[in-house]
Amino acid sequence: MTKRNIALSAAGVILLAVLLYQIPAINSRLSWRFEVARTYVKNMINPVGDVPTAIPQPTKISTPTIAVQSTSTTDPQGASGVVTTEIPPTPTLAPPPAQAFIASPPYEKQTANNCGPAALSMMLHMFGWSGSQKDISDVIKPVNGDRNVNPEEMAFWVRNYAGWLRIEYRVGGDLDTLKRLLAAAYPVIVESTTALNREDSGWVDDDLWAAHYLLLTGYDNAAQTFTAQDTYRGPDKKISYEQLESEWRPFNYLYLVVYLPEQEAEIKTILGSNWDPDLNRQRTLELAQAATAADPSDAFAWFNVGSNLVYFERYDEANAAYDKSRELGLPQRMFRYQFGPFLANFHANRNNDLLALTDYALQRTEMSEETWLWRGWALYRDGDLNGAIKAWRKALSVHPGYEDALYALNFVGSTP
């Protein structure tokens, strides 16, 4: 075969590959793999390393306040300040039974980066819904490469696209609460962690730590296990009480429950004082603070203290807790899923630290609309208007229609 024929054949293969890549089904399967490969190569050339510790802060100087909208990442449940009311005692409830199981829904294996929509889809099937994870992700995660779905995004979907149902999410969950919900036939989604398979590694020194939503459908005290529908690893997986508590801790013990409107009174009884979002946060803050006192080396407990303080807009205190957690060491992907440190830095006028932290987060996860949003605000405050606009437009490319980025662009008088 002549060189000319070889060149034509190679060009034909490349053209065929480009054309095949335009087919939506193929694009959805391969696009995120290309992004992973690009990140892997970048990290080989320029290793990122561990989560950076906080930049020492100079003496504070007054900075003009910017009215930032952040509907999905700050004050998601409407807190207006510090709760000072004493938390009422939760009524004494009968102990949950020794075991309870809800019939498992049809199993739905997640597509790439889609554990949240897949877990929610299975949960909704238990209430008579007949859609799929794609129906959910097309709305709240329309770009396949988007790496994260927040609980408030899932709540938004249920409230707007499954309006016959109600959904609530809370933090500071415990095993008894999970058991009581399951015993009353309410499946529960928890946000926890998982160890990625080696083939899903994103870089050479990958710690393989990632967030993961699990749908719980049962428990057994004798075996000390929950039954979980795991969209990554398979149906009806058994997870020990001890393992679940450990893997739940990095996400502030967050859980979601769906129910019918007429079942609200029962949900309120089960949750007790945790039904009130502010009281729930106050209680969870106190639990996280107690955890840091019991084990000052627990980075996740310090992080949870910071996140609960952000809810109450106590940003200086939140930064102190977040700084401690970063000093102790956090997983490489922590800022793919949790953005409280960005809010705390911004609202406390720690702009250099916000720039450094968002830079690190984007080197680990470029497809993150939340990180691009807060990097844009940091660039704007730093006087780089063009850079801010580019960041917000990048956020919109990751999540089309992202309201916080649209607000930011409108704030500076720019179009998407």
**Which one, of 181, 163, 174, 72, lies nearest residue 124 by Cα?**
163
Q: Which residue's structure tokens are 């329309």?
A: 142
Phi, psi of 230 (to 5 degrees): -100, 110
**Which one, of 82, 119, 87, lies nearest residue 255 by Cα?**
119
What lies within 8 Å, CB to CB, of 161 at 6+ separation is: 135, 136, 139
Predicted local confidence at residue 73, as pLDDT: 45
Q: Which residue's structure tokens are 């190569």?
A: 41
Predicted local confidence at residue 14, as pLDDT: 47
309-347 per-residue burial string, b: 16 or more CB within 10 A, e: under 16: bbbbbbbeebbbbbbbbbebebbbbbbbbbbbbbbbbbb
- In angstroms, the CA 133 to CA 114 distance is 8
User: DSSP class of residue 399?
Assistant: S
Q: Is the pLDDT of residue 242 over 70?
A: yes
* Cβ neighbours of 392 (radius 10 Å): 30
- In angstroms, the CA 179 to CA 186 distance is 10
Residue 92's pLDDT band (cuts 50, 70, 90): confident
- In angstroms, the CA 249 to CA 23 distance is 41
Q: What is the pTM of this model?
A: 0.86
Q: How far apart are the first and last CA of the chain?
A: 51
Q: Is the pLDDT of residue 83 over 80?
A: no
CA dihedral 338, 209, 226, 161 (to 10 degrees): 40
Q: Are 209 and 227 spatial neighbours (Cβ–Cβ below 8 Å)?
A: no
Predicted local confidence at residue 67, as pLDDT: 59
What are the structural domain ranges in the chain?
1-46, 52-73+339-416, 99-279
Domain 52-73+339-416 classified CATH 2.60.40.10? no
Q: Is the pLDDT of residue 77 over 60?
A: no
Predicted local confidence at residue 13, as pLDDT: 43
Q: Are 375 and 363 spatial neighbours (Cβ–Cβ below 8 Å)?
A: no
Residue 343: CA count within 13 A, CB half-sphere: 26
Q: What is the mean pLDDT of the chain?
A: 88
Q: What is the pLDDT of residues 198-225, one digit of tens each?
A: 888 877 888 999 999 999 999 999 999 9
Residue 365's pLDDT band (cuts 50, 70, 90): very high
User: DSSP class of residue 366?
Assistant: S
Q: Is the pLDDT of residue 79 over 60?
A: no
- In angstroms, the CA 75 to CA 312 distance is 8
- In angstroms, the CA 25 to CA 31 distance is 10
Q: What is the pLDDT of residues 297-316, one digit of tens each?
A: 999 999 999 999 999 999 99
**Which one, of 252, 235, 333, 233, lies nearest residue 291 by Cα?**
252
Q: What is the mean pLDDT of residues 381-395?
A: 98
Q: What is the pLDDT of residues 134-185, one digit of tens each?
A: 999 999 999 988 999 999 999 999 999 999 999 999 999 999 999 999 999 9
- In angstroms, the CA 361 to CA 395 distance is 14
- In angstroms, the CA 24 to CA 303 distance is 39
In this structure, what token pair is assigned to residue 279?
A: 């009281």
Q: Are 186 and 218 spatial neighbours (Cβ–Cβ below 8 Å)?
A: no
What is 99-279's CATH topology? Cathepsin B; Chain A (3.90.70)
What lies within 8 Å, CB to CB, of 153 at 6+ separation is: 72, 116, 140, 141
Q: Please indicate whether residue 236 or residue 63 has the higher confidence score (pLDDT).
A: 236
In this structure, what token pair is assigned to residue 180?
A: 């009581």
Q: What is the mean pLDDT of residues 317-346?
A: 97
Q: Is the pLDDT of residue 87 over 90?
A: no
- In angstroms, the CA 179 to CA 224 distance is 12
Q: Which residue's structure tokens are 């390393």?
A: 49
Q: Is the pLDDT of residue 348 over 90?
A: yes
**Which one, of 356, 160, 135, 293, lies nearest residue 285 by Cα?**
293
DSSP H/E element including 29: helix 24-45
Predicted local confidence at residue 122, as pLDDT: 98
Q: Is the pLDDT of residue 94 over 90?
A: no
Lowest mean pLDDT among 8-22, 170-184, 249-263: 8-22
